[in-house]
Each structure stands twice: as structure tokens, then as C-alpha cells.
Structure 1
Amino acid sequence: MVIGIVIAACVVLAVLAFLLPRLSRHPQNGAQRGLGAGARAGSQAPGVLGRLLSKPFSSSSRAMGRSGAAGRRARGRMPF
């Protein structure tokens, strides 16, 4: 369920970045801020468990950043 939500958010962010490149920065930063808070909360657990709990949030945040960048990059490559 959560994986589907993250994938849907990445797709929406990529489309938004393609259509409105400048206005897509704020939603991207907001999504990454929320995922960063989850990663920080997960990393409070001791040892290996902390790394395991924070990893899904950090990889999702990285995916959000990449999808936004990909949409803006695709928009920049358009001939018009």
C-alpha cells in the first residue's frame, strides 16, 4: 500500500515537473521533508534496526528527487 502511494506521488511529481517546472519545486521539497522526518524518526532506533527502519524513507525521498529532476530534464530537452 505504501509502495503504491510513493510510486503514485513520484508519477504525479514527474508530470507536474514536466508541465510546470518552477512550480514543482515546492511540492517536491514538501514531500522530501515529510520523508526525511520519517527517516530521522526511524534512525532513532539503536544499531542495525535504526538503519533498517530509516532506509525505506531515505530511498523514497531519493526517488522523489529523481522523478522531479527527470520531469524538469525532459521538459528542457523538448524542442519547443
Structure 2
Amino acid sequence: MVLGIVIGVCVLLLILAFLVPRLSRHPERGAERTVGAGGRAAGKAPGKLGHWLSKPFSTSQRAMGKSANAGRRGRGKMPF
């Protein structure tokens, strides 16, 4: 379920960044802020458990940034 949500957000950011690159920054930051809050909360668990619990959040955050960046790069390569 959570994986599907992350994939959906990545696809949405990719499409939004391709269509309107400048306006896609705000939704990207909002999504990354939301995922970052979850990662910070999970990271407060003691010891290695905190590191293990926060890792999926950081991976998801990185994937969202990469997909939005790919959309902007794709738009930049278009001839119009």
C-alpha cells in the first residue's frame, strides 16, 4: 500500500515537472517534507532500529526528487 503511494507520487511529480517545471517545485518540496517528517519520527527509535526504520523514508524521498528532476530534464531536451 505504502509502496503504491510512493510510486504514485513519483509518477505525479514526473508528469507535473515535465508539464510545468517551475510550478512543480512546491509540490515536490511538500511531498519531501511529509516523507522527511516520517523519517525523522522513525529515526528517534533507539539504536540501529532508528536507522533501519528511517531508511525507507530517505529512499522514498530520494526517489521523489529523482523523478521530478527527470521530468525537468526531459522537458529541457524538448525542441519547443
Q: With structure 2 as the length reference, what TM-score do the two structures score?
A: 0.98
What's the counterpart of residue 2 of structure 1?
2
Structure 1 match to 2:41:
41
**Correspondences of 1:8-23 after superposition (within 5 Å):** 8-23=8-23
Residues of 2 paired with 1:48 and 1:37: CA distance? 19
Q: Which residue of 2 aligns with 1:70?
A: 70
Structure 1: unaligned runs, 5 residues or longer? none
How many residues are aligned here? 80
**Moved segments of 4+, more than 6 Å:** none
Percentage of pairs with the same residue? 68
Match of 1:26 in 2: 26
Ranges in structure 2 where 5+ consecutive residues have no aligned partner? none
Listed one character per residue, the Cα deviations across residues 18-65 of structure 1 (whole Å, up to 9, x for unaligned) are 000000000000000000000100100011100111001110000000
CA RMSD in angstroms comes to 0.5
**TM-score, with structure 1 as normaliser:** 0.98
Task: Determine the structure 2 residue equivalent to 1:52.
Answer: 52
Instruction: Measure the CA separation in 2 of the matches of 1:63 and 1:42.
Output: 18
Q: CA deviation at 1:79?
A: 1.1
Distance 2:56 2:17 in 1: 23
